[in-house]
Each structure stands twice: as C-alpha cells, then as structure tokens.
Amino acid sequence: MRFTDGLTPAELGHYEQHGYVKLAAFADPGRCRAMLDRVVEITRAQAEGTKLAGGAGLAGLVLPESNLAGRPGRPEELASKVFTLHRDDIFGGFASSPEVTGVLTGLIGPRIDCFLSQFIFKNPGAWGQPWHQDSYYFAFEPARPVVGMSLAVTRATTENGCLYVLPGSHREPVHEHVPDSRPGANYGYVEIVGRAMSGAEAMPMETGDLLVFDSHLVHRSSDNTTDGLRAAMTYHFAATGTRDLQPGVVNDFVTVT
C-alpha cells in the first residue's frame, strides 16, 4: 500500500479542480483478493442463513442484480451490491488504515467517520448505474464535505463497466434525480435528468487503484458486456459529528480516525 502522508499538492489540486483524483496502485492486490474472498463468503453465508466469525459480516445487506433475476448461479454471481461492510475486519481495516485516513484528513479534517460501504459486484450482463450524485442519497447536516472512495478490486475497463465522471461537476448543487426507468433496473437506482453530460471521462482502473471523489461529482458506470467480473469496494466518509437527518438501514457511522 502507498505512503501514509496524504495527498500530494498535485493530487489535492486535481481533486479541488475536478472533484476527483485517481491514486494508482493504492492497495496491494492481495488485499483486494482478500476483500473479494470475504464478500463471497458473506454473500454465500447470507444465502444459506449461516453465521460468520470475523466482525460484523452479517451486517452486509445483499442487493440482487435485478437484471439477472431468475438466472442460475452462485449467490455472488447474482448479487449487485453488498452494503454495510465497514464493521467487518477486512473492510473496516482498510477504511481505518493510515493510508486511507491520511488521504481523508486533508479533505475532511482530523475526525472522520465512515458511514457507508458497498461492495460492487458488476457481474457479466449487469447494467451500469445511471448518472447521479451521491449526495442525492445523503440528507446530512452539515451536507459537506462528504468524500467517496472506490477501490478497484478487479481491473475496470469501459467494456466491463468502469465508472465515468463529469469533471468539475462537484461545484454544482444536487440536481433533480428521477427513478431509473429501465424495466429491471436495480433497486434504488436514480438518474439525473435535464443536464447535458458532455465532457464525461471514463475511469478505467487497474486492480488496487483508488478513485477519491466528492459527493457532488456527477458519475455513472457502464454495463458489463464481458464474461468476467468487475468488482469494486466503495466507502463514504464525513466529519465525525455529522447528523443524518433521515436515518435508514444502510448508513452506519463508525469513527475511523
């Protein structure tokens, strides 16, 4: 894993100007593999109703990939997202590692909570998530800063469903979002309407690369048209003491530093 001193001035400048920064080779591929193995274990245990040791793995809430409903497959091959993993040892250990908190301290301040985590299974045939801003989902006081991190657990390409971002859109307010109108779209997917998406940039990533992004950054992911898995682990962070005005089942504030 990389240094613990936080973002370099150039990386911070990129984040401030564009709303995101990609940090190459941030995490060891072995750590990514351990995350994938663990979330597969959690997903299977949930399907079987068995208990696991090693943290709060069973807090993981598995959302199915609606588009793949009815197909045969192992639990992880039919999953879309597994929420609320950051109390589990492997996932929480990454969120509270000095390398991660070093990056976040420069963006949020000295006291930081992780409030949301999701493992993304972009299985073959899975659809992308439409254009959205994460802050649409967060009714917080104060509303900002909120920082997202997406760790490439496998290689992400334009063919297997990588992220796309709209550089500079983090300076915009939260746009109107409407429910994703595709029949078979995943639960909770919404879409920004009434804003042109020209200037979008694809974010291909190698295993272990980390994308750090502002919660107002407009982004989406594409469909996985390959026969391999694209997997990512995402986290969201806010200053300790941030109030959730609409507490639900997935936000779980845990102090990481």
Ligand X SMILES: O=C(O)CCC(=O)C(=O)O
Looking at the Cβ atoms of 18 and 219, the one nearer to ligand X is 219
What distance, in Å, lies between the first and last C-alpha atoms of the chain?
Answer: 18
Binding test (CB under 6 A) with ligand X, winner from 221, 242, 251, 257: 221
Looking at the Cβ atoms of 15 and 119, the one nearer to ligand X is 119
Partnered with residue 150 across adjacent β-strands are 211, 234
31 contacts ligand X (rule: CB under 6 A)? no
Binding mask 114-143 for ligand X (x = CB under 6 A): ----x-x-x------x----x---------
Question: What are the CB-based long-range contacts (under 8 Å, 24+) for 6-14?
Answer: 6/102, 6/103, 6/105, 6/106, 7/103, 7/106, 7/107, 7/212, 12/106, 12/107
3-state SS assignment for residue 107: helix
In the complex, the smallest distance separating the C-beta of residue 120 from ligand X, rounded to whole angstroms, is 4
154 contacts ligand X (rule: CB under 6 A)? no
Locate 116 and state its tokens: 């949301």
In the complex, the smallest distance separating the C-beta of residue 97 from ligand X, rounded to whole angstroms, is 21
On the question of a cis peptide bond just before residue 142, with omega within 30 degrees of 0, the verdict is yes
In the complex, the smallest distance separating the C-beta of residue 53 from ligand X, rounded to whole angstroms, is 28
β-pairing, 201-203 with 210-214? unpaired
In the complex, the smallest distance separating the C-beta of residue 130 from ligand X, rounded to whole angstroms, is 9
What is the binding site for ligand X (CB under 6 A)? 118, 120, 122, 129, 134, 150, 161, 163, 219, 221, 232, 234
